[in-house]
Amino acid sequence: SETLDVAALREDFPVLDREFDGTPLVYLDNAATSQTPKRVVESITDYYYRYNANVHRGIHSLSQEASIAYEEAHDTVGEFVGTDRREEIVFTKNTTESMNTVAYAWGLNELGPGDEVVLTEMEHHASLVTWQQIARRTGAECKYIPITDDGYLDMEAARDLITDDTEMVSVVHASNTLGTVNPVRELADIAHDHGSYIFVDGAQSVPHQPVDVKAMDCDFFAFSGHKMCGPTGVGVLYGKEHLLEEMDPYLYGGMMISKVTFEDSSWHELPWKFEAGTPPIAQGIALAEACDYLDDVGMERVHRHSTDLARYAHEELTASDDVEVYGPPADDRGPLVAFNVDGVHAHDLSSIVNDYGVAIRAGDHCTQPLHDVLGATASARASFYLYNTREEVDALVDAVDEARQLFA
């Protein structure tokens, strides 16, 4: 069917049965981290119970099993985002480390005075602070594509800002604050027309919509396992093979080498060149399981379900004229709403709705410069996923109303 059987899916997530003093949990903080289905958790226990061993093909059978499972996990994760080359899929700790890998291994070597890195005003600190500091260390300059009043990227400004001096465009695919989904293929074409690379931050898009890195033509792409039904401790860096081939490693040590003498060393083949030391073996295998889980649910259905909930929440919250929701209109956004209620600080709001079992986030969502642009010191944010329901949106709206009464 075209819709999700949410009641059946919720059976996969025991944590959703939690109660606090008899009040059922209403988990609406999925942009921070998603919940983890039983079969993903079981893949971790199965690894530790049956074939825990260090990888990279130790001679013994247990290591062979662990190595093959870990290597094939790269294939499964690659297929999930549209590449059939495991050489293009590096497992890291998280999106943040994936971005730092390119900023250090490429940026530190290639950037210098006169070079420019073009970001957007809606970047997460994982890319904004990283490129800002690498630019500071190399003498390069960061520029920021502004957003329009209704939370879209100003594409006319983008065309002016991306020039032949631009060496890297780093852009969030789906904003974790505005809900804006950016035209990354168009941005990739503009970047490439000027001889620049493009890095797409997919932390909030891969969990929620079908992603094809080849159709997008991005040079680098990053996302995190814990936001897409996977465990914490594993992230992914996708890179076009020839670019990763040309890049120096980011971290040095065991596993990432081929030959080592006292004088010098040579590197292992891709993607292992970028996976120094003992990698997140169980986590990588579990991330592949999470990809299979989401494929079984159906990413088009996940996307439709989550964005429908965000649309409903937007409409219900803005029915009160003291609520401001940031970002694009209700019917053109990713699966989240960041908002403020006049007279109720976001932290107070999230604390009060928590008394009703509703878990949302309050703060800057690691987008402080964006909040400066929005003229808000903080915002509350509800973010949805495949296991949330319209009744849970109603619980949010009712709890917000309780907060409103308290502060009236």
At its nearest, how many Å lie between ligand 7TS and the CB of residue 125? 8
Tokens of 192: 């490439």
By beta-carbon proximity to ligand 7TS, the closer residue of 44 and 66 is 44
At its nearest, how many Å lie between ligand 7TS and the CB of residue 33? 7
By beta-carbon proximity to ligand 7TS, the closer residue of 76 and 170 is 170
By beta-carbon proximity to ligand 7TS, the closer residue of 140 and 362 is 362
291 is catalytic: no
Question: Cβ neighbours of residue 321 under 8 Å, at least 6 residues apart?
Answer: none
Q: Where are the beta strands (DSSP E) in 179-289?
A: 197-201, 220-224, 235-239, 257-260, 265-267
Q: Containing H/E element for 129?
A: helix 125-138
By beta-carbon proximity to ligand 7TS, the closer residue of 32 and 157 is 32
β-partners of residue 341 are 323, 344
By beta-carbon proximity to ligand 7TS, the closer residue of 97 and 115 is 97
At its nearest, how many Å lie between ligand 7TS and the CB of residue 259? 33
Q: Are 126 and 99 in contact (CB under 8 A)?
A: yes
Binding residues (CB under 6 A) for ligand 7TS: these are 31-32, 94-96, 124, 126, 172, 176, 201, 203-204, 224, 235, 361, 365-366
At its nearest, how many Å lie between ligand 7TS and the CB of residue 71? 23
At its nearest, how many Å lie between ligand 7TS and the CB of residue 267? 25
From 142, 229, 291, 366, the catalytic residue: 366
Q: Where are the beta strands (DSSP E) in 98-178?
A: 116-120, 141-145, 166-172
Q: Are 78 and 89 in contact (CB under 8 A)?
A: yes
By beta-carbon proximity to ligand 7TS, the closer residue of 95 and 209 is 95
β-partners of residue 170 are 199
Q: Where are the beta strands (DSSP E) in 42-192?
A: 89-92, 116-120, 141-145, 166-172
Question: Cβ neighbours of residue 90 under 8 Å, at least 6 residues apart?
Answer: 98, 101, 236, 237, 238, 239, 244, 270, 271, 274, 275
Whole-number Cα distances in Å, 53 to 59, 269, 280, 354: 11, 21, 12, 42
Indicate if the alpha-carbon torsion angle 268, 88, 205, 35 is positive or negative. negative
Q: Which residues are catalytic?
A: 366
